[in-house]
Amino acid sequence: MTPSFLPKDLATINLFKRRTVLIWIILAMAMIGLIVRLVYLQVITAPDLLDKARRQQMFTLRPFIPRRTITDRKGTVLGIDRPVYTLFAYPHLYKKKPEEIAAALAPILRRPNEKLLSVLTRDTTSIQVEYWLSEENADLIYNLRLDGLELIQQRHRLYPQQDLAAELLGYVNVDHRGQAGIELSQEKLLERNDQAPEVAQDGNGKLIPNRIPAGMIRSDRTSLQMTIDSRIQRTARQILKQQMVKFNAKRGSVIVMDVRDGGLLTFVTEPTYDPNRYYESDVKLFKNWAVSDLYEPGSTFKPLNVAIALEAGAIQPDTVLNDEGVLTIGGWPVANFDYEQAGPVGALSIGQILERSSNVGMVHIIQRMKPSVYYGWLERIGLGDISGVDLPSETPSALKPQEQFIEYVIEPATASFGQGFSLTPIQMVQLHGILASGGKLLTPHVVKGLVNEDGEEYYQPKLPTPRQIISSATAQRVVEMMTGVVERGTGKPARIPGYRIAGKTGTAQKASATGGYSAAKITSFVGIFPSKEPRYVVLAVIDEPIGADAFGSTVAAPIVKTVIEDIIVTEGIPPSHPEEVTSKIPTLPELVSPSQPQDTATPAPKISPSPQVTPSR
Q: Please tell me which residue in 299, 357, 358, 387 is annotated as part of the active site.
A: 299
Nearest residue to 423 via CA among 394, 460, 396, 447 = 396
The yes-or-no answer on residue 299 being catalytic is yes
The torsion of the CA quartet 434, 437, 440, 446, rounded to 10 degrees, works out to -90
Q: Are 87 and 129 in contact (CB under 8 A)?
A: yes
Using only C-alpha atoms, what is the Rg of the chain? 38
- Of 312, 333, 315, 311, residue with least CA distance to 324: 333
Euclidean distance between CA atoms 588 and 4, whole angstroms: 156
3-class SS letters over 439-481: CEECCCECEEEEECCCCCEEECCCCCCCEECCCHHHHHHHHHH
DSSP 554: I
Non-local (6+) Cβ contacts of 203 within 8 A are none
Quote the CA–CA distance of 517 and 332 in Å, as a whole number. Answer: 14
Continuous segment of H or E residues that includes residue 58: strand 58-60
For 565-613, the DSSP string reads: HHHHHHHTPPPS-HHHHHHTPPPHHHHH-TTPPP--SSPSS-SSPPPP-
H/E stretch holding 525 reads strand 517-529
- Kindly state the DSSP code that residue 537 receives in the 8-state scheme: E
Distance CA 262, CA 428 (A): 13
Active centre residues (catalytic): 299
